């Protein structure tokens, strides 16, 4: 079968003969040479430090992210080690590793913050809040959901969380303690967070936590989708093509995406149902009832945009928190002294060990909050580069480098959180650091910063507080004693928890079974 290049060569030869072929090759060569000269010497970012190869071409990033699967983040860390706090990571993007520069790059007010268009293509949710390019349009869309993520609104979710947590306890309950069956915790937390956010978004969910496989086919399909994100980022036309393809056809062409496609169809149906049902009583208090009843413009309420928003809210609300919960549980079981401190705090706050903890009991516990903060620092549930654009005003770094308006700049949470100038012994799990010196928060990027920060962080923190306190108020670390206990089962941080691949959400090494534990009663 002819390749595209062979066919092109043949076509040129047929039309213009061998001379035409030579001419076409010369045009391509001149174009490539011109582009290289421009990128290296005349581009606005020509003076930014970094390897020439990365300034010249996107192919290195393609190689690491598409062919090796989300590995460019390591290369960026190496570039910072070699070239310092500011590096040009591809022809059009500058990356920073300077905690003191966070507030300048990511302002809450004052300067407009746009997003690069490629992000929408990459995440497959163009026009959702997180990928809205224009600052003012983003503000409008974000204002429609802000209220649903305030502390007061989240507190109203307590009954939903309690109901799901009772199911979670039932599912991890190991009656046959003699068998010591290990349980993979990531699927359990994914099912739980999916149930919570889907109920909050639409008023009902798939109850994945009740399913024997915890909804595995859906999560496998969404993993496939996330693995495609770098490819879509590099070839945005491919993302457009997939977006324009009817869901039934996507499902037929890519059977591994079938379960995700079914969920997408369900989200669209729910959005329509909520929008079209007079009175909307069935979905009272849900995020989408709020969105369709908000002051948003007609253009914000189309099927296409709302289904992208639904996909964003579900994806953002499930995998992120589930990964961080998995990491928190690992760190507590791997660091018994930290677990003991937490359990002492919980014992005072929640006197009845068999009762379900309430938000009021756990939301202000200093050590529990420090554990959550330290876990998000070490294991941020969103590890992707936080890319932004200042559309109107240039940004100057240390009086030496100027980032012109319209240029992409970024920072990454893991890079910043591993900076030893900001966090002493950065790789160590030390919740106490947040109590000893709250000012280290200036270098915290776990929920992003500025006007495009994480809208769901109150939900994430409260959900994690309730889940962790429910599990660890009831279960002790197993040391051979009777009663409800839990312990690690063949889990290593470097292999099973730390990110090996950046697929927006961190993914551990291939073949890893993630966090496994044994519960005993």
Residues flagged as binding site for heme: 454
Nearer to ligand HEM, 39 or 363 (CB): 363
Contact 448, 386 (CB under 8 A): yes
Please, what is the minimum distance in Å from the beta carbon of residue 380 to ligand HEM?
5
The residue ranges that bind ligand HEM (CB under 6 A) are: 129-130, 142, 197, 312-313, 316-317, 320-321, 324, 376, 380-382, 386, 446-448, 452, 454-456, 459-460
Nearer to ligand HEM, 159 or 399 (CB): 159
Q: How far apart are CA 338 and CA 432, in angstroms?
A: 9
The CB-nearest residue to ligand HEM is: 456
Please, what is the minimum distance in Å from the beta carbon of residue 300 to ligand HEM?
14
Please, what is the minimum distance in Å from the beta carbon of residue 229 to ligand HEM?
12
Of 472, 467, 474, 465, residue with least CA distance to 363: 465
Question: In terms of C-beta density within 10 A (0-12 exposed, 13-18 middle, 19 or more buried), how is residue 347 classed?
Answer: exposed
CA angle 78, 83, 84 (to 5 degrees): 95
Pick left, alpha or beta for residue 495 (phi over 0 → left; psi -120 to 50 → alpha; otherwise beta). alpha
Residue with tokens 């009740």: 210
Tally the C-alpha atoms within 13 A of residue 452's C-alpha that lie toward its C-beta. Answer: 26
Tally the C-alpha atoms within 13 A of residue 512's C-alpha that lie toward its C-beta. Answer: 21
Nearer to ligand HEM, 12 or 201 (CB): 201
Tell me the three state secondary structure of residue 394: coil
Nearer to ligand HEM, 185 or 460 (CB): 460
Nearer to ligand HEM, 447 or 472 (CB): 447
Q: Mark the binding-site residues, compressed into ranges.
A: 454
Please, what is the minimum distance in Å from the beta carbon of residue 145 to ligand HEM?
7
Longest Cα–Cα distance in the chain = 87
Q: How far apart are CA 112 and CA 128, in angstroms?
A: 18
Nearer to ligand HEM, 55 or 329 (CB): 329
Q: Provide the β-strand partners of residue 396.
A: 402
Helix locations, 256-405, DSSP H: 258-276, 287-292, 303-334, 336-349, 359-362, 366-378
Of 425, 410, 413, residue with least CA distance to 380: 413
Please, what is the minimum distance in Å from the beta carbon of residue 197 to ligand HEM?
6
Nearer to ligand HEM, 129 or 306 (CB): 129
Contact 221, 256 (CB under 8 A): yes
Question: Which of 184-212 are b and which e, b meaning 16 or more Cβ less than 10 Å from the residue's Cβ?
Answer: bbbbbbbbbbbbbbbbbbbbebbebbeee
Nearer to ligand HEM, 197 or 228 (CB): 197
Per DSSP, which regions of 25-116 are E strands? 86-90, 93-96
Residue 474 CB: number of other CB atoms within 10 A? 21
Nearer to ligand HEM, 92 or 487 (CB): 92
Q: Provide the β-strand partners of residue 86.
A: 96
Helix or strand holding residue 136 (H, E): helix 135-146
Nearer to ligand HEM, 130 or 356 (CB): 130
Q: Which residues contact 272 (CB under 8 A, 6 or more apart)?
A: 303
β pairing state of 476-477 and 485-488: parallel
Please, what is the minimum distance in Å from the beta carbon of residue 138 to ligand HEM?
6
Nearer to ligand HEM, 484 or 506 (CB): 506
Please, what is the minimum distance in Å from the beta carbon of residue 322 to ligand HEM?
9
The whole-angstrom distance between residue 496's C-alpha and the CA centroid of its chain comes to 18
Residue with tokens 């802000």: 146
Please, what is the minimum distance in Å from the beta carbon of residue 148 to ligand HEM?
9
Please, what is the minimum distance in Å from the beta carbon of residue 518 to ligand HEM?
25
Q: How far apart are CA 25 and CA 31, in angstroms?
A: 10
Please, what is the minimum distance in Å from the beta carbon of residue 110 to ligand HEM?
17
The whole-angstrom distance between residue 158's C-alpha and the CA centroid of its chain comes to 24
Contact 164, 209 (CB under 8 A): yes
Please, what is the minimum distance in Å from the beta carbon of residue 190 to ligand HEM?
12
């Amino acid at each position: 079968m002819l390749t595209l290049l062979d066919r092109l060569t043949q076509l040129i030869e047929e039309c213009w003969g061998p001379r035409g072929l030579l001419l076409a090759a010369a045009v391509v060569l001149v174009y490539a040479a011109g582009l290289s000269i421009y990128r290296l010497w005349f581009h606005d970012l020509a003076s930014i430090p970094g390897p020439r190869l990365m300034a010249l071409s996107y192919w290195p990033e393609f190689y690491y992210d598409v062919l090796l699967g989300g590995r460019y983040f390591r290369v960026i860390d190496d570039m910072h080690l070699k070239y310092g706090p500011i590096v040009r990571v591809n022809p059009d993007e500058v990356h920073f590793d300077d905690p003191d520069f966070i507030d300048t790059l990511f302002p809450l007010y004052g300067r407009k913050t746009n997003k690069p268009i490629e992000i929408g293509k990459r995440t497959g949710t163009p026009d959702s809040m997180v990928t809205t390019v224009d600052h003012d349009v983003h503000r409008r869309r974000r204002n429609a959901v802000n209220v649903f993520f305030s502390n007061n609104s989240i507190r109203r979710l307590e009954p939903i969380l309690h109901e799901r947590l009772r199911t979670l306890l039932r599912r991890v309950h190991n009656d046959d303690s003699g068998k010591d069956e290990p349980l993979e915790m990531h699927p359990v937390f994914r099912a739980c967070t999916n149930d919570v956010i889907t109920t909050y978004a639409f008023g009902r969910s798939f109850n994945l936590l009740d399913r024997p496989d915890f909804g595995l086919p859906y999560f496998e399909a969404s993993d496939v989708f996330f693995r495609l994100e770098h490819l879509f980022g590099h070839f945005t036309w491919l993302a457009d093509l997939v977006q324009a393809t009817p869901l039934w056809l996507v499902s037929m062409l890519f059977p591994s995406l079938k379960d995700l496609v079914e969920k997408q169809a369900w989200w669209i149906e729910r959005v329509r149902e909520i929008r079209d049902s007079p009175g909307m009583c069935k979905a009272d208090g849900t995020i989408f009832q709020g969105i369709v009843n908000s002051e948003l413009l007609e253009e914000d309420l189309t099927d296409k945009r709302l289904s992208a928003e639904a996909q964003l809210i579900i994806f953002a609300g499930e995998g992120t928190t589930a990964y961080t919960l998995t990491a928190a549980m690992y760190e507590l079981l791997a660091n018994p002294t930290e677990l003991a401190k937490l359990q002492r705090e919980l014992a005072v706050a929640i006197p009845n060990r068999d009762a379900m903890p309430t938000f009021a009991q756990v939301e202000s516990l200093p050590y529990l909050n420090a554990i959550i903060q330290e876990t998000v620092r070490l294991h941020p549930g969103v590890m992707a580069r936080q890319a932004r654009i200042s559309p109107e005003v240039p940004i100057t770094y240390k009086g030496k480098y100027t980032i012109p308006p319209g240029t992409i700049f970024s920072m990454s949470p893991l890079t910043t959180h591993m900076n030893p100038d900001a966090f002493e012994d950065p790789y160590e799990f030390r919740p106490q650091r947040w109590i000893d010196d709250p000012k280290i928060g200036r270098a915290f990027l776990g929920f992003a910063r500025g006007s495009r920060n994480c809208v769901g962080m109150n939900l994430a923190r409260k959900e994690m507080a309730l889940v962790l306190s429910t599990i660890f108020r009831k279960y002790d670390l197993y040391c051979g004693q009777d009663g409800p206990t839990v312990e690690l089962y063949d889990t290593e941080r470097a292999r099973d928890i730390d990110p090996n691949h950046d697929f927006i959400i961190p993914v551990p090494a291939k073949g890893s079974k993630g966090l496994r534990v044994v519960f005993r009663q």
